[in-house]
Amino acid sequence: MLNKPEAQPDKKEAVVIKKYANRRLYNTETSTYVTLEDLAQMVRRDKDFVVYDAKSGDDLTHAVLTQIIVEQESRQGGQTLLPIPFLRQLIRFYDDSIGRLVPSYLQFSLENLVKEQEKFRPVMKHMDAVNRMKSFAEVELGFDEKAAIEEAKRCLRCDLRLQIRQPVLPPEKWLRFEAEAVATVPECEGVFQLFDEKKKTIYIKGTMNLRKELMEQLPDNKEAKCFLYEEAKMFTMRESELLQQFMKKHGKMPDQNVGLEEDLY
């Protein structure tokens, strides 16, 4: 459970933990050997510590905190906070140029999560770690069912932001520009587009009767091989939108729309 943001500079001086070659950890404040679980409890109590190699003096704090997380995540039947997709994406970031932004992004996200958590969290019953081991009683009452679901959804959205990809759009449903296909088009307001054999747009038209207008195009428009249509009550506006999109992309009107510039606005 998240409690408070990372330690601030004005907090009490951190406890020094020494790590020896035999991997034992020594708490210089209490003059006792401690375990990773003891250090995890210190974090939960918001008691800062730093870990140094007893021989070289190297700072091992990052490595030890990471080891604590690995231990927590590996417990059978325990709560896991790092979903598999998140872990995979995190690994990919190590070889990605955007990787340097990840630490600050994660720090920002966690700080915001803690702030949001405090908004929803009422004054709760709390039991310290020692007594918690002696009882099966409920020790913390936080979110009700509805609030818990909303919080879970929000956290999942945080994870999903790391997995965003360009959406894969379905293929266009091209229709052959033939009488049989045109006969299936409804007689209603809408806009249609005609395409040549290379699927290039050659004509865009809004009309009060889609089927009628397409039927009129059939005999004389030899260049058109396929078509698409969409129903639209405000067909003139939709026609204008499609024409403007085409011009923005190609810098000109469709070949068979010459002289329709006045319909754009």
Confidence of residue 167 (pLDDT cuts 50, 70, 90): low
Kindly report, residue by residue over 72-95, the tens digit of the pLDDT: 888 767 778 888 888 888 888 888
Query: Which of 155 and 24 is assigned the larger pLDDT?
Result: 24
CATH architecture of the domain covering 15-74: 3-Layer(aba) Sandwich (3.40)
Confidence of residue 264 (pLDDT cuts 50, 70, 90): very low
Judge whether residue 191 has pLDDT over 70.
yes
pLDDT of residue 177: 93
Q: Where along the chain do its domains lie?
A: 15-74, 84-163, 175-264
Query: Which of 193 and 159 is assigned the larger pLDDT?
Result: 193
Kindly report, residue by residue over 205-219, the tens digit of the pLDDT: 999 999 999 999 999
Domain spanning 175-264: CATH superfamily = GIY-YIG endonuclease (3.40.1440.10)
Judge whether residue 229 has pLDDT over 80.
yes
Query: Which of 146 and 214 is assigned the larger pLDDT?
Result: 214
Q: Measuring CA to CA, how many Å separate 145 from each of 2, 12, 123, 242?
A: 19, 37, 17, 47
- Give me the sign of the Cα torsion angle 128, 132, 137, 139: positive
Q: What's the CA gap between 136 and 21, in Å, rounded?
A: 39
Whole-model pTM?
A: 0.41
204 bridge partner residues: 193
Q: What's the CA gap between 249 and 241, in Å, rounded?
A: 12
Least confident of 55-59, 64-68, 77-81, 244-248: 77-81
Backbone angles phi, psi at 57, to 5 degrees: 85, 5
Residue 35 and residue 8 in contact, taking contact as beta carbons nearer than 8 Å: no
Backbone angles phi, psi at 168, to 5 degrees: -90, 115
Judge whether residue 163 has pLDDT over 60.
no
pLDDT of residue 257: 84
Judge whether residue 198 has pLDDT over 60.
yes
